[in-house]
C-alpha cells in the first residue's frame, strides 16, 4: 500500500474534533507536503473525519495547496448551466447540518477537470477566507504581435501557461501534453491521471491591452479550425480566420468548442439552505465561479472574481462569476468585485421545461437544454405555470401532486388540475414556488464579456449603489425563452437605482424575452421595473431597448457621452420599445454635444410609446 493510499484510507493518530467543533488541519501533515504535491488525500481524510464525527467543519491553516483528481471523491452530478456528469470533488459538503470551511489565507490551486467544493443537501454552510485558481487555465490567451493583411494573417504570441500541439496545420490546446504522438484524447468516465481536456480555436473574445473588451469585438471572431503555422515556441501565425483584422497589442481569449465547455465550476451548491460566502476569491474556473441550484438563501460578502497577481492573465471565470438557477429565499450580494469574466457577474432565473405529451393529469416533461440534465424542477406541493412556447404567455397555474423521474432528461409530473381546453400544443411550464429575491449592492463589475447581470425572477429585485463598466454587451438584461437556454420566468418587481453605468457596449437596460413583437404585439412578459437616479456614461446612444414590457419607469437619470470609442450607428433609436405598455420616461437629463445633440425614442406599437415628462434633450424619433 502506497503512502498516499495510507493517507486516504486511515485516520491514523490524527486528533479529531468533538461533534459540532471544527477539525483543525494544522496537525494533518500539510506543512510536510513538497512544493506542488497533491494535498487532496489529506483533505479527503479530514472530510471523512468530519462526516464520521459530525464535526462543524474544517479549519485549514494558511498556505498554498494543490488539488488533483486522482484521490478525489467521484460523484455523478447535475450542475445547472454547466456540464453535468461524473465529477471529481475535493470537498463534498453533503448532508451536513452546519458546516464551516474556515480557510483564511489559503490558496487552492486546481489541476484538470475537478470541482473544488460541492455542497449538497446541507444547511448553514459557511465558506470563507480562501482563493481558488487553476494551475493551467481552461482558456487560451495570446497577444497579436504582427499583422499581415496581404496574407490575411496575424501572428499570436501565446501566454506561457498555454499547452498546445500542432497536428499538421491544425492547432489544439490542451490541459497537459499527450502521453505520446499516437494518443488521442481520453474521455471520461472514468477519470484517470492521464485525462486531459483539449480544445480548438472556436468561441473567442478580444480585449485591449488595458484588459477592457474591444468594442465590437464580435467582428473579430475566429474560425474554429483555421490554418495555423508555428513560427517558434509559443508563437503562431493564423491565416484567414477573422472578418476584421485585429490590431497589434490586442489579446484574444479562446474557450474552444462549445460543448462540453463548462466542466469545472469552482463552487457548486445544490438542494441546500443558508449559504454564506465571505472573503472568497475566484481567480479562475472552467465554468461558473459559483453555481447555486434549487437552494434557498445565499449571502455573498466581499466575494471576488478577480485576476491573480503576477500572472498577466486577462480572464477569470470562463462563464458567470455567480449563477442561481431555480432558487428561492433571499440572495444578497454586497461589497463584491467581479472582473474579466467571460460571462455575466450574476444570472438569477428558473427553468422552462417542455411538455412533450400527457395522459390524464400526468405530463411527460423534457429538460431540453443539455445543462439542465438531472436538475430537480419541481416537487409535490409546488405551484407551476403553463405557458405557450411561441410567446411565453401563461395560461394556467396549478399545484404539483407528484413527480417521478424517468431519467436525467425526462420526468413525469402529475398536477392537480389541467387547464380548461387541455394542454396546448407547444407548451412549457416553470415553477412559481421557487422564485428568489435578489439584492445586489455596493459592488463593482468591470471589463468582462456579456451582460453585467441577467435577471429573470418574480421575486423582489433591488440593484443599487454599484459601478458597472466596460461590459461587452448590455448592462442589466432580462430575458426568457423556450428555444435555447429555456430560462424562466418574468421579472415583476425590479428597482435599479443610484448606480453608475460606464461605457457598456450596448443598452444599459435590455428586456429581451424571446417574443416576436410583430407577431404578438400585445404579449407582455417582464415588467414592474423602476430605473432611477442612475448615472449613465456612454460612447454610443443605446440606452434602453426591449419588447413585451409591462410597466417601466425610467426617471431622474443623468446621461453623458464619453469618447472611449466611435459611436454606434446614429440611426439606431436610443430608447427602442418594440412592444409593451405602461411606460414612463421622466426627469432625465442628457448632456449631448454637436454630433449627438439629443436622444430619441422609437415605439413599435402605439401602446409601447412611453409617456414623456420633463426630460432634457430626449424626444420622439420622427
Structure confidence at residue 468 as a pLDDT band (50, 70, 90)? very high
Would residue 73 count as lying in a domain?
yes
* Burial zone of 279 (CB within 10 Å; 0-12 exposed, 13-18 middle, 19+ buried): middle
Residue 261: per-residue pLDDT: 87
- 116-136: buried (b, 16+ CB within 10 Å) or exposed (e) per residue? bbbbbebbbbbbbbbbbbbbb
Q: Please tell me whether residues 132 and 8 are part of one structural domain.
A: yes
Beta pairing class for 267-270 and 115-120: parallel
Structure confidence at residue 230 as a pLDDT band (50, 70, 90)? very high
Residue 13: per-residue pLDDT: 47
Cell numbers 454547466 correspond to 82
The Cα 4–Cα 439 span in angstroms is 45
**Count of domains forming the chain:** 3
pLDDT tops 50 at residue 479: yes
Q: Which residues face 164 on adjacent strands?
A: 173
Q: Please tell me whether residues 209 and 221 are part of one structural domain.
A: yes
Q: Please tell me whether residues 50 and 130 are part of one structural domain.
A: yes
**Mean pLDDT in residue range 251-257:** 94
Structure confidence at residue 19 as a pLDDT band (50, 70, 90)? confident
Q: Please tell me whether residues 170 and 243 are part of one structural domain.
A: yes
Q: Please tell me whether residues 91 and 48 are part of one structural domain.
A: yes
pLDDT tops 60 at residue 152: yes
Would residue 377 count as lying in a domain?
yes
Q: Please tell me whether residues 132 and 173 are part of one structural domain.
A: no
Q: Please tell me whether residues 50 and 123 are part of one structural domain.
A: yes
Q: What is the pLDDT of residues 530-558, one digit of tens each?
A: 999 999 999 998 999 999 999 999 999 99
Q: Which residues face 549 on adjacent strands?
A: 580
Would residue 567 count as lying in a domain?
no
Structure confidence at residue 2 as a pLDDT band (50, 70, 90)? very low
Q: Domain range spanning residue 377?
A: 350-431
Residue 7: per-residue pLDDT: 46
Would residue 280 count as lying in a domain?
no
Nearest to 66 by CA among 45, 38, 34: 38
Residue 190: per-residue pLDDT: 64
- C-beta separation of 80 from 323 below 8 A: yes
Residue 184: per-residue pLDDT: 60
Would residue 403 count as lying in a domain?
yes
Average pLDDT, the chain: 94
pLDDT tops 90 at residue 191: no
Q: What is the pLDDT of residues 121-132, one digit of tens each?
A: 999 999 999 999
- C-beta separation of 25 from 40 below 8 A: no
The Cα 162–Cα 590 span in angstroms is 46
Structure confidence at residue 485 as a pLDDT band (50, 70, 90)? very high
- DSSP assignments along 163-181, one per residue: EEEEETTEEEEESS--SST
- C-beta separation of 249 from 156 below 8 A: no
The Cα 612–Cα 555 span in angstroms is 10
Q: Which residues face 363 on adjacent strands?
A: 358, 413
Of 8-17, 357-366, 433-442, 586-595, minimum mean pLDDT range: 8-17
Structure confidence at residue 18 as a pLDDT band (50, 70, 90)? confident
Cell numbers 426568457 correspond to 480
Q: What is the pLDDT of residues 424-442, one digit of tens each?
A: 999 999 999 999 999 999 9
Residue 10: per-residue pLDDT: 45
Would residue 359 count as lying in a domain?
yes
Q: Please tell me whether residues 100 and 158 are part of one structural domain.
A: no
Provide the 3-class DSSP secondary structure of residue 262. coil
* Distance (Å) of CA 612 to CA 358, 581, 596, 605: 48, 13, 20, 16
Grid cell listed for 134: 487553476
Would residue 110 count as lying in a domain?
yes
pLDDT tops 80 at residue 567: no
**Mean pLDDT in residue range 71-99:** 97
Residue 248: per-residue pLDDT: 98
Residue 511: per-residue pLDDT: 97
Q: Please tell me whether residues 151 and 250 are part of one structural domain.
A: yes
Structure confidence at residue 566 as a pLDDT band (50, 70, 90)? confident
Q: Please tell me whether residues 184 and 125 are part of one structural domain.
A: no
* Burial zone of 234 (CB within 10 Å; 0-12 exposed, 13-18 middle, 19+ buried): middle
pLDDT tops 60 at residue 289: yes
Q: What is the pLDDT of residues 503-517, one digit of tens each?
A: 999 999 999 999 999
- DSSP assignments along 115-157, one per residue: EEEEEES-EEEEEEEEEEEESS-SSEEEEEEEEEGGGTEEEEE
Q: Please tell me whether residues 7 and 126 are part of one structural domain.
A: yes
The Cα 266–Cα 247 span in angstroms is 34
- C-beta separation of 321 from 282 below 8 A: yes
Would residue 165 count as lying in a domain?
yes
**At 411, which CATH number?**
2.40.30.10
Phi (first) and psi of residue 371, to 5 degrees = -85, 10
Out of 331-340, 564-573, 588-597, the most confident range is 331-340
Peptide bond into 489 cis (omega under 30): yes
pLDDT tops 50 at residue 390: yes
Residue 14: per-residue pLDDT: 60
Helix (H) or strand (E) holding 33: none
Residue 3: per-residue pLDDT: 43
Nearest to 217 by CA among 542, 476, 538, 471: 471
Provide the 3-class DSSP secondary structure of residue 50. helix
Structure confidence at residue 12 as a pLDDT band (50, 70, 90)? very low
Counting Cα atoms < 13 Å in the Cβ hemisphere of 201 gives 27
- C-beta separation of 382 from 433 below 8 A: yes
Domain boundary residue, one of 431, 466, 492: 431
Q: Please tell me whether residues 17 and 125 are part of one structural domain.
A: yes
Cell numbers 477519470 correspond to 191
Amino acid at each position: 500500500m502506497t503512502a498516499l493510499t495510507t493517507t486516504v484510507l486511515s485516520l491514523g493518530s490524527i486528533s479529531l474534533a468533538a461533534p459540532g467543533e471544527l477539525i483543525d488541519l494544522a496537525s494533518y501533515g500539510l506543512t510536510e507536503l513538497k512544493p506542488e504535491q497533491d494535498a487532496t488525500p489529506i483533505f479527503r481524510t479530514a472530510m471523512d473525519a468530519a462526516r464520521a464525527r459530525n464535526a462543524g467543519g474544517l479549519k485549514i491553516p494558511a498556505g498554498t495547496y494543490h488539488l488533483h483528481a486522482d484521490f478525489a471523491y467521484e460523484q455523478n452530478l447535475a450542475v445547472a448551466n454547466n456540464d453535468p456528469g461524473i465529477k471529481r470533488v475535493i470537498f463534498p459538503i453533503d448532508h451536513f447540518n452546519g458546516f464551516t470551511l474556515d480557510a483564511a489565507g489559503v490558496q487552492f490551486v486546481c489541476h484538470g477537470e475537478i470541482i473544488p467544493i460541492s455542497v449538497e443537501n446541507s444547511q448553514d454552510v459557511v465558506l470563507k477566507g480562501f482563493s481558488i485558481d487553476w494551475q493551467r487555465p481552461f482558456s487560451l490567451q495570446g497577444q497579436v504581435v504582427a499583422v499581415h493583411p496581404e496574407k490575411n494573417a496575424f501572428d499570436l504570441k501565446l501566454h506561457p501557461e498555454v499547452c498546445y500541439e500542432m497536428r499538421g496545420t491544425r492547432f489544439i490546446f490542451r490541459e497537459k501534453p499527450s502521453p505520446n504522438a499516437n494518443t488521442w484524447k481520453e474521455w471520461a468516465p472514468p477519470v484517470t491521471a492521464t485525462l486531459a481536456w483539449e480544445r480548438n480555436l472556436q468561441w473567442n473574445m478580444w480585449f485591449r491591452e488595458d484588459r477592457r473588451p474591444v468594442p465590437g469585438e464580435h467582428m473579430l471572431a475566429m474560425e474554429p479550425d483555421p490554418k495555423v503555422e508555428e513560427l517558434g515556441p509559443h508563437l503562431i501565425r493564423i491565416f484567414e480566420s477573422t472578418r476584421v483584422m485585429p490590431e497589434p497589442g490586442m489579446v484574444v481569449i479562446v474557450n474552444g468548442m462549445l460543448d462540453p465547455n463548462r466542466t469545472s465550476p469552482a463552487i457548486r451548491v445544490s438542494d441546500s439552505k443558508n449559504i454564506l460566502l465571505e472573503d472568497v476569491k475566484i481567480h479562475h474556473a472552467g465554468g461558473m465561479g459559483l453555481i447555486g441550484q434549487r437552494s434557498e438563501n445565499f449571502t455573498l460578502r466581499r466575494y471576488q472574481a478577480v485576476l491573480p497577481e503576477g500572472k498577466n492573465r486577462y480572464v477569470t471565470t470562463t462563464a458567470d462569476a455567480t449563477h442561481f438557477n431555480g432558487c428561492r429565499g433571499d440572495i444578497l450580494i454586497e461589497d463584491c468585485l467581479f472582473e474579466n469574466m467571460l460571462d455575466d457577474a450574476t444570472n438569477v432565473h428558473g427553468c422552462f421545461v417542455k411538455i412533450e405529451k400527457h395522459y390524464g393529469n400526468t405530463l411527460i416533461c423534457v429538460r431540453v437544454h443539455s445543462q439542465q440534465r438531472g436538475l430537480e424542477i419541481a416537487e409535490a406541493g409546488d405551484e407551476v405555470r403553463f405557458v405557450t412556447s411561441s410567446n411565453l404567455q401563461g395560461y394556467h397555474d396549478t399545484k404539483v401532486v407528484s413527480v417521478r423521474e424517468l431519467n436525467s432528461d425526462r420526468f413525469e409530473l402529475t398536477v392537480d388540475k389541467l387547464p380548461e381546453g387541455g394542454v396546448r400544443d407547444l407548451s412549457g411550464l416553470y415553477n412559481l414556488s421557487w422564485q428568489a429575491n435578489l439584492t445586489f449592492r455596493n459592488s463593482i463589475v468591470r471589463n468582462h464579456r456579456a451582460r453585467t447581470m441577467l435577471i429573470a425572477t418574480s421575486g423582489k429585485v433591488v440593484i443599487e449603489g454599484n459601478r458597472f463598466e466596460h461590459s461587452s454587451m448590455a448592462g442589466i438584461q432580462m430575458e426568457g425563452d423556450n428555444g435555447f437556454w429555456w430560462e424562466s420566468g418574468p421579472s415583476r418587481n425590479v428597482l435599479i437605482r443610484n448606480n453608475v453605468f460606464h461605457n457598456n457596449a450596448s443598452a444599459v437596460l435590455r428586456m429581451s424575452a424571446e417574443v416576436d413583437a410583430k407577431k404578438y404585439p400585445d404579449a407582455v412578459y417582464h415588467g414592474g421595473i423602476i430605473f432611477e437616479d442612475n448615472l449613465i456614461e456612454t460612447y454610443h446612444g443605446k440606452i434602453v431597448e426591449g419588447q413585451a414590457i409591462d410597466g417601466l419607469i425610467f426617471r431622474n437619470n443623468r446621461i453623458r457621452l464619453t469618447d472611449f470609442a466611435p459611436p454606434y450607428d446614429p440611426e439606431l433609436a436610443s430608447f427602442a420599445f418594440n412592444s409593451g405598455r405602461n411606460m414612463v420616461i421622466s426627469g432625465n437629463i442628457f448632456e449631448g454635444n454637436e454630433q449627438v445633440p439629443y436622444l430619441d425614442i422609437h415605439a413599435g406599437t402605439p401602446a409601447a410609446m412611453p409617456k414623456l415628462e420633463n426630460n432634457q434633450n430626449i424626444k420622439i424619433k420622427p
